Structures are given as C-alpha cells and as structure tokens.
C-alpha cells in the first residue's frame, strides 16, 4: 500500500468514525462507495471491488464495536437478554447471506440493494421519524426471525444491523437509549458471523489485491478501523453541541448523491 492510498483510507476512516459518532449512522454508508472507488483505481473489476468494499466495511465493525460495547456496558444500557435472544437468528441469517447468497449475486445487484438500503437510511435521517412503541418484545421464535433478517440484510449490504434492530426494539417499547446500546452490542456477532462466511466463500478467488483474505482487504480494513476508532468519540462529543437535526438533513442529501453515483456505476458496469 502506497502512502497516498494510506492517507486516502485514513481520511475515509476519520470521516466515517466522526459521522458515525455525530449522527449515529453505520460507517458502511460512507465507507463502501469510497473503498469501491479506491479498489477500482488499483485495477480491481467493479463487480469484485464492490463486494470487497462491503466485506471490508463489515470487518471494521469487529474492531470498532468493541470500544462502543464497553462504553454502553459501563452505563448499564445494553439489554443482554435481547442480545442473547437475537444472536442465534443473527448467526443463521449471516451464514445464509455471507456463505451463499453474497457469493452468487453479481456486484452490480448488490450495489442496487445497497443503494436501496442507503436511500431508506437517508430518508429516515431526513424525516427524523421514530417509530411509536406499540407492543412488547416477542418470544424466542420472534427474536430468532428478526435476528435472521438482521443478519441476512447486514451480510448483503455490509451494515451493522442498526437500521433494523433499533426501530424494531423501539417499536417493542425498549427505550431508545437501550435500543441503540443493544444494537451496538449486536454489531459484534453480526460482524464475526458474516466475516467468517466471507472468508470461506471468497477463499479461492483470484486476482485479488495484495493483503486480501477472501473478500476482505486487510490493509484497508486496518487503516480505516484504526482511524475511525479515534474520531467516533469526537463525533459523539460534538453531537451535544451541533444542530444534529439540521446536519442529518444535509448528510441525507449527500447520501442521495452517493446513491445516484452507485446506481449509475452499477448500470454502467452491467
């Protein structure tokens, strides 16, 4: 990896961590498009580059979620009973996505799915809507099913699952603070289960960039994660000082532009 690439990825990591801490968003929203671009600049085909960007995004969650879990746990905000309830379904859904579906889908198809996910997340931020609590947490079968959906969707788009888990828990009368903290704790098993599947499904890939392990671009993951770990707390600190609601609308507009770019590239590369 050249110094120029390292600086580029470091900036991506810094921005990703800061915006995640400031707005409570998943880092993959920013990371995937920019890592895709960098990999294509190194001669990786767009189809493979997008898949590797998704996996690299997911693999960073293994590192960045640990500090987040520790902070939430110290405040007693994590519902560990829900983590245990969701975990079996998450592992099942993650395995189904990362071991099978992810490998057989074209990168352009995944890019469109990712664009739909980003559009949904951007719209949520733009409207700043929160679900009204209407029911209680379901039993084992319900948690297993929702966990399976979270793991499966996360495995396809490289996200930590908060876009499903937080609204669902809030809908089930879990306080928003506990929902966010519990979602952060779920990020680790989601990442571990999916990354294990990505390594297996991408083990025999050819023409990978240097330092790759299956679909994971290890150098990119390490640089981005090491930078985002330091800037995420800074973003969280500024969240109490800046007009977050207005910033969410501005950032949502930026995400729509990224969606347009990703769709254009996907259609162009088909």
The set of residues, in sequence order, having a beta carbon less than 8 Å from that of 216 and lying 6+ positions away, is 52, 55, 56, 59, 195, 198, 199, 202
pLDDT top residue among 213 and 1:
213
Expressed as residue numbers, the domain containing 116 is 3-269
Structural domains counted in the chain: 1
40 pLDDT band (50/70/90 cuts)? very high
Cα 25 to Cα 228: distance, rounded to the nearest angstrom: 13
Q: What is the pLDDT of residue 130?
A: 66
In this prediction, what percent of the chain has a pLDDT beyond 70? 94
* Short-list 101, 103, 60, CA closest to 217: 60
Q: Which of 99-108, 113-122, 187-196 has the highest mean pLDDT?
A: 187-196
pTM over 0.75: yes
Residue of 132 and 126 predicted with greater confidence: 126
CB atoms near residue 171 (< 10 Å): 16
Confidence of residue 240 (pLDDT cuts 50, 70, 90): low
Q: pLDDT at residue 172 above 80? A: yes
Residue 25 pLDDT level (bands cut at 50, 70, 90): low
């Amino acid at each position: 990896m050249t110094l120029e690439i390292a600086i580029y990825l470091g900036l991506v990591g810094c921005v990703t961590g800061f915006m995640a801490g400031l707005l409570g968003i998943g880092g993959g929203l920013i990371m995937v498009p920019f890592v895709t671009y960098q990999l294509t600049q190194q001669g990786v085909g767009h189809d493979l580059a997008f898949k590797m960007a998704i996996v690299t995004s997911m693999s960073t969650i293994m590192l960045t979620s640990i500090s987040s879990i520790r902070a939430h746990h110290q405040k007693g905000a994590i519902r560990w009973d829900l983590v245990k309830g969701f975990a079996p379904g998450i592992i099942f859904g993650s395995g189904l996505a990362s071991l099978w579906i992810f490998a057989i889908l074209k990168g352009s198809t995944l890019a469109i799915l990712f664009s739909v996910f980003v559009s949904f997340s951007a719209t949520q931020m733009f409207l700043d809507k929160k679900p009204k609590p209407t029911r209680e947490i379901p039993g084992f079968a319900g948690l297993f099913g929702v966990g399976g959906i979270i793991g499966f969707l996360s495995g396809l788009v490289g996200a930590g699952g908060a876009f499903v888990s937080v609204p669902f828990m809030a809908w089930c009368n879990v306080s928003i603070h506990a929902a966010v903290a519990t979602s952060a704790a779920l990020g680790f098993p989601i990442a571990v289960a999916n990354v294990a599947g990505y390594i297996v499904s991408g083990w025999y890939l050819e023409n990978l960039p240097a330092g790759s392990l299956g679909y994971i671009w290890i150098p990119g993951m390490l640089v981005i994660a090491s930078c985002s770990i330091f800037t995420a707390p800074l973003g969280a600190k500024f969240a109490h000082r800046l007009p977050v609601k207005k910033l969410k609308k501005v950032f949502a507009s930026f995400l729509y532009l990224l969606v347009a770019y990703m769709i254009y590239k996907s259609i162009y590369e088909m």
